[in-house]
């Protein structure tokens, strides 16, 4: 009889004193929806207490098993069970801390997530757990493991080593303190951004160029308007306002979000990351991060960035000259440079003059409801799925939609997802896919995945519905790609479920889905004028396709800049030196991009990827190479070819992290991947 079967009656008895589980909307059974609308701070505190108790009992059960009785099931599988127990409250509460309209709930959720994260840090350096795994690794069963089981054992041993378990006790304690500080400070960094708000007040002359709908949505008095820093306000203003000075003032506010709080905090984070790398014996934090990624070494990352930059430079130089000529014609004065606050404006002007493409006209064909239908229909046809809207699901805000997904072949419910699409005060300000429940196999069935897409698209008003730019449609498909990766997983372990893959591969599936928003066959099915219902005309689609690679060199160089900045700060920069992070930003921006650094701005204070992807932002372009190679097979076989989609689903999406990402891509392509499709996609 397995030890875990003896343990659970005791667990149930102990938990009976912790309150009635069925009354807590977070402490739910498997494949049951969280009751978000009923959530209170008390529920959050109780759920956290109970979860940590359950986990500690599981830890005790693992470490007390005699060495000769250790098995994969009672040691390694139980460790994955601990992860699943922790994620039961942590995933939805992390989401609530980012989106819930009630500040009291957000604060309680953030506090709970921090408690759980600190507990995870403790587990990461738990010497008894390490000894348990090491003991099992020396058994006959361990020596004969294959496939995902061997991969998981190797991962556990590697992770314990990377967390300092082979260090002396005093150094391990230092590692723990650093990990805990990093957890607290990283969450504070994000909170400072979410809680920050600022507004630019402009007059009629300064808002000239914006649509009447935009003006009406931002009007605060006779001929006066308030422009906040949310995407639906910021982006159109930067593209369309005829006032160079107003755009400058808005951009300064945007680049200095949370600067007072986050600039010193970011330096503390960088110093702690450097201390951690030193303690663990790595030459840099970047070296520590990439060791278990596809890139493997910092040298590979630097080579990737430098080679890509060289390949892009000629095209970017040509594109800049084109923008300067446009600015010269527009201002009737010789233009020698374009500042960042003019970048978006002249890009939009180029689309209108060279390609005769009006972005605001394009919006009229992408009403958000039609886009949702188009996205789901496309995924349904490709992957043989069915999506059903849940009319009475419990959500955290009236705007949030809930859908269920079914497999058309088996008719089985395979998971669910939430759509939270419009901005509101103190909500997460970008676009992201949040895990709610992650897939995992249990003896009595599979835990169905759930996710939430959080976006900030223009909110509908009395005059106009929510109309998306084509780039926002692309973002929507991108984020849903992350969600589908989670939704279609068949990983037996939560540790390898869905997007739990190498960080420099995680963006690949999401970037694959961007391809379909450029296909006439797909757009023709859902891009309809919000007033007339007319399908988007071929001439407009052709203009969009012609302009697809407009400034692709400059835009890709911007991504190179972000990747190089991130890697510089975590690899070659000494955060204990007198050099400020803003000096690094200035140097690299001036060196890599054609748009010079703006004095007294501090983008590193609000560029959250420097925290969440620390030393990993290179992965966006790294993943794009693989994504384009994968999509090229759809282009070759037919973009809606179900056979290709089925192979993609089974070989890559269902596997999650159970196999090496490079091997999965090679298996799907029937060859090793290359960058030819990526280079072609940039128009090079």
Name beta bridge partners: 401.
419
Higher-scoring residue by pLDDT: 405, 213: 405
Which phi and psi (to 5°) does residue 658 adopt? -70, -15
pLDDT averaged over the chain? 94
Query: Mean pLDDT over residues 512-517, rounded?
Result: 97
In this predicted structure, what is the pLDDT of residue 17?
A: 38
Rounded Cα distance, 376 and 486, in Å: 15
Query: Mean pLDDT over residues 568-588, rounded?
Result: 98
pLDDT of 211 higher than 50: yes
Query: Mean pLDDT over residues 385-393, rounded?
Result: 94
Cα dist. 674→53, 307, 572, 671 in Å?
49, 14, 29, 9
pLDDT of 434 higher than 60: yes
In this predicted structure, what is the pLDDT of residue 221?
A: 86
Q: Residue 354, Cα to own-chain centre: how many angstroms?
A: 34
In this predicted structure, what is the pLDDT of residue 24?
A: 95
User: Tens of pLDDT along 266-289?
Assistant: 999 999 999 999 999 999 999 999
Lowest mean pLDDT among 14-23, 419-428, 586-595, 662-671: 14-23
- Among residues of the chain, what percentage have pLDDT more than 90? 94
In this predicted structure, what is the pLDDT of residue 19?
A: 42
Total residue length of the chain:
684
pLDDT of 14 higher than 90: no
Query: Mean pLDDT over residues 536-563, rounded?
Result: 95
- Helices 340-353, 298-331: inter-axial angle, 10-degree rounding: 70
Name beta bridge partners: 382.
none
User: Tens of pLDDT along 460-511?
Assistant: 988 899 999 999 999 999 999 999 999 999 999 999 999 999 999 999 999 9
Q: Which residues of 178-199 are buried (b: 16+ CB within 10 A; e: fewer)?
A: bbbbbbebbbbbbbbbbebeee
Query: Mean pLDDT over residues 660-671, rounded?
Result: 98
101 contacts: CB under 8 Å, gap ≥ 6:
396, 397, 424, 425, 426, 427
**Cβ(235)–Cβ(423) below 8 Å:** no
pLDDT of 21 higher than 50: no
- Helices 41-63, 127-137: inter-axial angle, 10-degree rounding: 50
- Sheet containing 413-420: which strands, arranged edge to edge? 385-389, 401-407, 413-420, 450-454, 432-437
**Cβ(126)–Cβ(469) below 8 Å:** no
Structure tokens at 214: 């935009």
**Cβ(383)–Cβ(489) below 8 Å:** no
pLDDT of 684 higher than 90: no
In this predicted structure, what is the pLDDT of residue 9?
A: 33
**What top-level class would CATH report for the domain 3-124+126-162?**
mainly alpha
Which phi and psi (to 5°) does residue 269 adopt? -65, -45
In this predicted structure, what is the pLDDT of residue 231?
A: 87
User: 442 by DSSP, 3-state: which?
Assistant: strand
pLDDT of 432 higher than 60: yes
Q: Name the residue ranges covered by the structural domains of the chain.
A: 3-124+126-162, 197-255, 259-355+552-617, 368-546+620-681
Number of Cβ within 10 Å of residue 170's Cβ equals 7
Rounded Cα distance, 158 and 502, in Å: 14
pLDDT of 8 higher than 50: no
In this predicted structure, what is the pLDDT of residue 462?
A: 87
Confidence of residue 429 (pLDDT cuts 50, 70, 90): confident
In this predicted structure, what is the pLDDT of residue 1?
A: 32
Rounded Cα distance, 82 and 304, in Å: 37
Rounded Cα distance, 489 and 449, in Å: 8
In this predicted structure, what is the pLDDT of residue 396?
A: 98
In this predicted structure, what is the pLDDT of residue 222?
A: 87
Cα dist. 56→82, 176, 437 in Å?
9, 18, 21
Query: Mean pLDDT over residues 22-37, rounded?
Result: 91
Lowest mean pLDDT among 6-15, 58-67, 98-107, 121-130: 6-15
Q: Which helix (H) or strand (E) holds 189?
A: helix 169-195
pLDDT of 380 higher than 50: yes
Q: How buried is residue 442: exposed, middle or buried, by Cβ count under 10 Å (0-12/13-18/19+)?
A: exposed
Name beta bridge partners: 451.
417, 435
In this predicted structure, what is the pLDDT of residue 126?
A: 96
At the second CATH level, the architecture of 368-546+620-681 is Orthogonal Bundle (1.10)
User: 52 by DSSP, 3-state: which?
Assistant: helix
In this predicted structure, what is the pLDDT of residue 13?
A: 34
- Among residues of the chain, what percentage have pLDDT more than 70? 97
In this predicted structure, what is the pLDDT of residue 172?
A: 93
User: Tens of pLDDT along 97-147?
Assistant: 999 999 999 999 999 999 999 999 999 999 999 999 999 999 999 999 999
pLDDT of 587 higher than 70: yes
Rounded Cα distance, 476 and 485, in Å: 14
In this predicted structure, what is the pLDDT of residue 392?
A: 86
Pick one of 3.30.465.10, 1.10.1040.10, 3.40.47.10, 1.10.1370.10 as the CATH number of 259-355+552-617: 1.10.1370.10
Give the closest residue to 553 by CA, choosing from 384, 257, 313, 346: 313
Would 3-124+126-162 and 368-546+620-681 be classified into the same CATH topology?
A: no
Q: How buried is residue 322: exposed, middle or buried, by Cβ count under 10 Å (0-12/13-18/19+)?
A: middle
In this predicted structure, what is the pLDDT of residue 194?
A: 87
């Amino acid at each position: 009889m397995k030890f875990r079967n003896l343990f659970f009656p005791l667990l149930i008895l102990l938990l009976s004193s912790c309150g009635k589980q069925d009354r807590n909307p977070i402490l739910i059974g498997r494949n049951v929806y969280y009751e978000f609308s009923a959530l209170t701070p008390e529920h959050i505190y109780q759920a956290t207490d109970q979860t940590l108790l359950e986990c500690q009992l599981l830890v005790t059960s693992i470490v007390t098993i005699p060495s000769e009785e250790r098995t994969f099931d009672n040691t390694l599988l139980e460790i994955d069970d601990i992860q699943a127990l922790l994620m039961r409250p942590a995933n939805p509460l992390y989401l609530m801390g980012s989106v819930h309209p009630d500040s009291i709930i957000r604060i309680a959720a953030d506090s709970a997530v921090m408690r759980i994260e600190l507990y995870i840090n403790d587990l990461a350096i738990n010497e008894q757990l390490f000894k348990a795994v090491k003991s099992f690794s020396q058994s006959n069963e361990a020596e004969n493991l294959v496939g995902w089981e061997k991969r998981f054992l190797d991962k556990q041993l590697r992770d314990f080593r990377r967390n300092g378990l082979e260090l002396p006790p005093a150094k391990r304690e230092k590692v723990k303190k650093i990990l805990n500080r990093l957890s607290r400070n990283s969450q504070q960094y994000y909170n400072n951004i979410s809680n920050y708000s600022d507004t630019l007040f402009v007059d009629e002359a300064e808002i000239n160029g914006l649509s009447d709908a935009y003006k009406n949505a931002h009007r605060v008095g006779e001929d006066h308007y308030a422009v906040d820093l949310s995407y639906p306000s910021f982006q159109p203003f930067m593209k369309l306002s005829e006032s160079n000075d107003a755009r400058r003032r808005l951009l300064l506010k945007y680049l200095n979000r949370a600067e007072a709080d986050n600039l010193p905090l970011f330096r503390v984070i960088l110093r702690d990351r450097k201390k951690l790398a030193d303690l663990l014996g790595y030459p840099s934090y970047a070296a520590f991060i990439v060791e278990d990624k596809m890139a493997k070494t910092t040298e590979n990352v630097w080579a990737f960035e430098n080679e890509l930059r060289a390949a892009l430079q000629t095209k970017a130089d040509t594109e800049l000259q084109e923008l300067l000529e446009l600015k010269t014609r527009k201002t009737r004065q010789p233009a020698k440079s374009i500042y960042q606050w003019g970048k978006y404006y002249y890009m939009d002007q180029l689309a209108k003059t060279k390609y005769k493409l009006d972005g605001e006209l394009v919006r009229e064909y992408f009403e958000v409801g039609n886009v949702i239908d188009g996205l789901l229909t496309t995924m349904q046809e490709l992957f043989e799925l069915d999506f059903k809207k849940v009319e009475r699901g419990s959500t955290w805000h009236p705007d949030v939609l809930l859908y269920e997904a079914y497999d058309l072949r088996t008719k089985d419910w395979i998971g669910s997802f939430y759509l939270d699409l419009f901005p509101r005060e103190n909500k997460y300000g970008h676009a992201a896919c949040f895990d709610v429940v992650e897939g995992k196999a249990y003896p009595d069935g599979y835990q169905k995945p759930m996710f939430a897409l959080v976006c900030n698209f223009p909110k509908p008003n009395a005059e106009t519905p929510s109309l998306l730019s084509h780039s926002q449609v692309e973002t929507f498909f991108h984020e849903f790609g992350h969600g589908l990766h989670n939704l279609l997983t068949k990983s037996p372990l939560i540790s390898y479920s869905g997007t739990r893959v190498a960080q420099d591969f995680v963006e690949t599936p999401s970037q694959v889905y961007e391809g379909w928003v450029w296909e006439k066959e797909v757009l023709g099915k859902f891009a309809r004028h919000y007033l007339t219902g007319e399908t988007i005309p071929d001439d407009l689609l052709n203009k969009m396709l012609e302009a697809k690679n407009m400034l692709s060199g400059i835009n890709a160089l911007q991504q190179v800049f972000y990747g190089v900045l991130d890697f510089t700060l975590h690899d070659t920069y000494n955060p204990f030196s007198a050099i400020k992070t803003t000096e690094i930003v200035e140097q690299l921006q001036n060196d890599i991009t054609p748009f010079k650094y703006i004095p007294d701005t501090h983008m590193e204070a609000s560029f959250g990827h420097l925290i969440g992807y620390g030393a990993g932002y290179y992965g966006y372009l790294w993943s794009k190479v693989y994504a384009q190679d994968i999509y090229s097979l759809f282009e070759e076989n037919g973009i809606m070819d179900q056979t290709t989609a089925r192979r993609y689903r089974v070989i890559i999406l269902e596997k999650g992290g159970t196999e090496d990402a490079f091997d999965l891509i090679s298996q799907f392509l029937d060859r090793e991947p290359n960058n030819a499709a990526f280079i072609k996609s940039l128009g090079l």
